[in-house]
Structure formats: structure tokens, C-alpha cells
Amino acid sequence: MCKFAPMKKYILTAFLFFAIFSVLNAQDSRRRPNRTTPTVQKQQTDSVAPVPDNFPVTGTTVDTAKVDIPPIYGWKISPRLGERIFLPMDTAIINFHQSMLVDGLDVNVGYLGNVGSPAQSMIFFDRPESSRFVFLDAMHYWRKDPQDKYYLNTKVPYSNVRYQTGGGGQSAEQRLQTEISMNMGKKLNVGFDFDYVYSRGNYTSLSNKQMNYDFYASYIGDKYKMHAFLSNNNFNNIENGGITNPLYITNPNSDEIVQTQFRGNSLDIPVRMQSTWNKMRGKHLYVTNRYDLGNDEEEYMVNDTTKAWRKKANYISPASVIFTTHYTDQKRRFLSDYAGMDTLYHYYNNIDGESVDLEPKYMSNINDFMSYYSFKNTFALAMNEGFRKWTKFGLTAFAEYDMRKYSMPGGLPGLHERYSENALTIGGVLSKEKGKYLRYKASAEFNILDGKDYKLEGEITTMLNLFGKQVSAKANGYIKSISPSFFQKNFSSKYWNWDSENTNFSNTNRVYVGGEINFPELSFSKTRISGGMENIKNYIYYNEKKVTAQESGSVQVVSLRLDQELKAGIFHWDNQIVYQKSGNENVVPLPQLSIYSNIYLMTKIAKVLTLQMGVDGHFFTEYYAPGYEPLTMQFYNQREEKIGNFPITTAYVNLHLKFTRFYIMMYNLTNGMGNGESFTLYRYPVNPRMLKLGISWRFNN
């Protein structure tokens, strides 16, 4: 009973907060005038309203001539320059259940089994670039950086609550997400997000507890624009190192497993470690400011003798000044009371790949602490697109200074070694964001302190005519030279240790070209084809010894993806198919084929209730899937066992009624069938068959 007390406390607190908020909003709405009949104004001075040309969204075809500005709309920002990228709100009436599954985050995701656990996309081009604090990379689906924040503008206060639960007893999982946003006038918006995850896990000593929250604000004025973001992330992962023998999952009736008297309960499967934790704490403080230069007012004659001032119609500022500040502080602690840790990590895998019998750095239980601090300031000057008829593009120049500090365990418990880095990056952006038939964006940046780091990126979007219908096409590419991060070159713990003298890593050089085509939507189908090819030299990865390694040669990765939606009446069949080929499977192991397929019926009940009922599944071909190492919090390559050729399927029902969404599903229907390879990572099986429920309430009052 007491184990669920924390979850109940947070749920009760959140609902009390929402109740008070709703009452205050209701009282405030009674004081606001009725705006069902809008007043007519000669001048539109509300610069909050987005320009319709900005609304086309990645993966979504939008007719800019028919865009209506909704009462609630949102956007994300580019972290360096604070540019707004308008995106649709998450109000989808179908596939709500997928938004609550780790599997639903991509076509193919490798993870430990729980909601909130470390995870990595097995679609290579969907993986984010490695961060400066590499321990956070495994949590990138759950953490929130400034570029991930979704800002809102609301005519009425907005709030949303999501709750999901699955399993029960000792293996229950729960997640509560809340969001509140409200405008104070036309230009200022403030909001608060809260995300709580408590997943006890279906396997011994494998659970996750997270509490993340953020406050945010945006001010979109006529000349001044500001975005602020303050967030805290708290991750507490109990680690088990994976199960000791995959036969407990793949062949529980084998003689080897029968002799252990195993009775089929996943909690009885032996694991590699217990009483072991990865704890992470971090924060972001981010503010970006943009001030538009120039005079947006003009003098005009009211009559023969009277003059007045008014806003210029369709005014565009000739230039803008941008200043962005970003402070982040991240900490990670790895600790264990497990008596078998010394035996488990007895052999030190040094950076040369040789096993050395080495005594631990200290004799007490492992308690290793690492941290990363960054204080970054960016100053930019922008010439805005369209301020004159001949300025068909925008041009921005920037300079960015980043002060970084790191700490690692020293030679004795409680002692820390501290290091610092500095980076001064200069660069520019050339872009054309307006227009229907041609848009482009090119950027270049160079680290002048290091002299080796640089990035050149470009993207172009156009509309083509195919058999009288319009086709959206995009091409993109980049050339990058990226220095190894500090924690790739250096690592210190009770058991494993290496430094930059051992690694001696060179910059990783990457060259990529790719594109996508969105075909015209037909009455029975919707199709998108995308793909890309990348050449990587000096790729850094974690090898079979679970330590960092660098491939001195080149590795090529090719990918082709098909997204297709078919329908006939109430019958729908959606597919996402990804083909990947790695030039060196020992360095970049990838499944050649990954598939997500969703077959469902969708209809309206009483013209108001949307019903979606179906079965979906994730499948990937057999390959040497990565493993996960708790000591480094990294996914590593292994050559001991192939995983795949097993569908992870779900039967579900989604319901949508006005502002409420609900789902019920049976997860992992095929558990125990076929080859039984219900793994997404080496030694980490997915959860067994489980009933899950979820609901989302959206309030606008």
C-alpha cells in the first residue's frame, strides 16, 4: 500500500491544482466580455497572429491559401536564434494509444522494457547527435531541451491532463502528464508542464521513476519577442543489467530452464545485478530575445489640418538583433549495494580491447559522480526576408561563446577531478521561408578556438506538378566535422577508467544527402517516400568490450523509407517500412528491415464519438542488436546473439469525444509465440502481455 503512496500524492496534488485553476478561469471568464461577435478593426496590430505562410509543417501538406488561425496554436523554436517553427497541436483523433508506448516513439526502438527506461531508435537517421553529457543520450525521449519545448498562444486558458496505467501489483506502470497555459493579454503567454513516471517493471530490479517539470513564457510583440524556459529533470533508474539467460524468454521449456524450476513469472527470471541505481538530476535556464529594428509607424493625414500616427500595413522590420542565453547543469550518480558487482566487473576492459585483471579503484561500494555545466551566450544580427521587394531571402550572422565544466571521480571516494572547455563559434544562416514553390535554408558554423569543428547544412523544399496534382519535395544534406565529447574521451569509475591519452580520438567527419517526396493525397491513399545516404569517417561507438572505440576508416549507411496510408470506407491500413544497410555491421549494426503496420476500423458513433479499433505491430529482421551497459549508460555493440524476426503486436480501442481521448489495449499479444524473441535489446525483453489504459482531458475555459 505504501509503495503507491507517492504516486497517489502526486495525482491528488495535480488534480487539486487543476480544480483550483479551472474555478479561477471560470470566474475570470464571467468577467470577460462575450467575443462571439468579433469587433472590426481597421488596423491589425496584434503581431501574435502567425503569418499563414509559416504554417506548412514537416510531414504535413498545408494549403497556405486556406489556413485559418486557430484559437490555440503552438510552435517550437530554434535553440540558437529563437526562430519560431509552427507545428500542429497534439489533438489527433487516431492512434492515441501509440503516443503512450515506447514502441510508438519510432518504427523501431530498442529499450529496457519500461516506460521511461533508457531507449535508442534503431532507425539510424532518427538518432540525435551525441550530446556533451553522453549519459543523457539514453534518456533523450524523456528529457526536454529548449528546442523540444512546445509554446502556445491561447485566446482562452488551456489545460490538459494525460494519465496512463498498465499492469498491476508489483509490475504496475503509471504516467501522469499535465499542462497549463494562459495568455495575459494578446502578447504574453505563460505555462507549466509536469511529467511523472513510475514504472515498477516486469523484471526483477528494473524500474523507473521520473519527475520532470518546466515553466515557460513567451512574449510576441510588434518589435520585441522573447521566449523563456526553465526546466528540471529527475531520473531514477534501478538497473538489473539484463536477464542472465535469454532462454527464459525464447525457450522456457528447455531442459536448462526446466531444471531451475522456473514457473513462468517474469519477476522470477534471474538478472545480472540488483540494488543498483543510475540517478540523474539536471536543469535548463534558457532565454532568447529578438528586437526588430526600424520604425513600424507612419504619419498620415486625418483631414486637411490634422495628422496622426498609425502602424504601417504589412510592415517587415529590415533587421533584428538577437541575444540568447542558455545555462544547463547536469549531474549523474551511479551507485550499488550489490555484493556481486566486483565479480561482475572484475576484468577491466581497457581502451585497446584487452581484458586486464585489475583491482577496483577503491574497496567500498561503488558511488561514482559525474557532472557537466554549460553557460552559453549567442549574439546575432539578422537581415529579415521581404523588408524590400528585392530581398527575397533572410541573412543572419552570429557568434556564440560556450563555457563548459566537467567533473569525474578522482582516485579516492569523494574526490573529483575537474576540467574545463571553451568554444567560440561563428556562423551564418541564409534562408527563404516565404513562398509556396521554393523555400530553402543553408547554415554554416565554425569553432574558431578549436579550428577543427565545423558544420555545413542545407535544405530546399519545392512543389512539383505530377499529373495535374501538386507534389511536395524536399532535399537536404550536411557536411560535419565533430570533435569527440569530453566523456567519450574520458571516463572514470571504480571499475573502468580511460582518458584522452588512451583514446586519442580524431574528429568524426560526416557527409549526408537525403530527401523526401509527399505524393498527392488520393481518396484511398496517402504516400510519402524518403531516404538518405551518409558516409562517416572516424565513427565513435561502444564496442563488444563496452568501451569507446573509433573506426578509423569510413562507414556508409543507406536508408529508404515508405509511409503509406490506405483506406476503403471504414477500413484503414497504415504502414511505415524502413530499409537500412550498414557498410560495417561490426561498427553500426542495423536491422535491414523495420516495419510498423496498423490495421483498423474507424467510424463515428452518434456523429460525435470517433471509434478506432484495430491491431498494430512492430517487426524487424534479425540482427546483432545492441546491448545496454548501466555502468556507462551507453548502448554497445555485441556479437553473441541475434535478435529479431518477432512481431510485437497490440490490440486496441481508441475513443475520441470532443476534448476527451481514451484508449484500452492489450500489449504484446504474441508473447510466447513463434521464436519467442520478444527483445528489442540484447538481454532486455519487452514486457509480457499486459492490459493498458489511458485518458486525456483537454480543458478550454
Q: Enumerate residue ranges in the chain where pLDDT < 70.
A: 1-70, 347-358, 701
Q: Shortest CA distance to 205 belongs to which of 139, 280, 266?
A: 266
Q: What is the DSSP code string of 593-627?
A: EEEEEEEEEEEEETTTEEEEEEEEEEEE--B---E
Is 475 inside any structural domain?
Answer: yes
Is 52 inside any structural domain?
Answer: no
Domain count, the chain: 1
Domain span at residue 674 reads 40-47+67-700
Q: Please, are residues 352 and 321 in contact by the beta-carbon 8 Å criterion?
A: no
Q: Shortest CA distance to 237 belongs to which of 522, 631, 696, 563?
A: 631
Rg (CA), the chain: 27
Domain of residue 206, CATH code: 2.40.170.20
Is 20 inside any structural domain?
Answer: no
Is 57 inside any structural domain?
Answer: no
Spatial distance between the Cα atoms of 541 and 544, rounded to a whole number of angstroms: 10
**What pLDDT is stored for residue 348 in this prediction?**
53
Is 310 inside any structural domain?
Answer: yes
Q: Shortest CA distance to 347 belongs to which of 542, 151, 75, 545?
A: 545
* Ramachandran bin of 43, using left for φ above 0, alpha for ψ from -120 to 50, beta for the remaining angles: beta
* Ramachandran bin of 343, using left for φ above 0, alpha for ψ from -120 to 50, beta for the remaining angles: alpha
> What is each CA distance from 202 to 4, 186, 208, 401, 503, in whole angstroms?
16, 49, 11, 46, 38
Q: Please, are residues 45 and 222 in contact by the beta-carbon 8 Å criterion?
A: yes
Residues 6+ away with beta carbon under 8 Å from 523: none
Cα Dmax for the chain: 104
**What pLDDT is stored for residue 435 in this prediction?**
87
Three-state DSSP class for residue 636: strand
**What pLDDT is stored for residue 56 in this prediction?**
41
Write out pLDDT tens, residues 246-281: 999 999 989 999 998 898 899 999 999 999 999 999
Residues in the chain: 701
Spatial distance between the Cα atoms of 201 and 117, rounded to a whole number of angstroms: 10
Is 4 inside any structural domain?
Answer: no
For residue 170, report the phi and psi dihedrals to the nearest 5 degrees.
Answer: -75, -5
List the beta strands (DSSP E) in 96-247. 109-111, 119-121, 151-154, 158-166, 173-184, 188-199, 207-220, 224-238
Spatial distance between the Cα atoms of 601 and 571, rounded to a whole number of angstroms: 5
Is 16 inside any structural domain?
Answer: no
Record the cell numbers describing residue 180, joined without a space.
497549463
Q: Please, are residues 433 and 53 in contact by the beta-carbon 8 Å criterion?
A: yes
Q: Please, are residues 181 and 194 in contact by the beta-carbon 8 Å criterion?
A: no
Is 675 inside any structural domain?
Answer: yes
**What pLDDT is stored for residue 1 in this prediction?**
41
Write out pLDDT tens, residues 421-450: 999 999 999 999 998 899 999 999 999 997
Q: Please, are residues 86 and 55 in contact by the beta-carbon 8 Å criterion?
A: yes
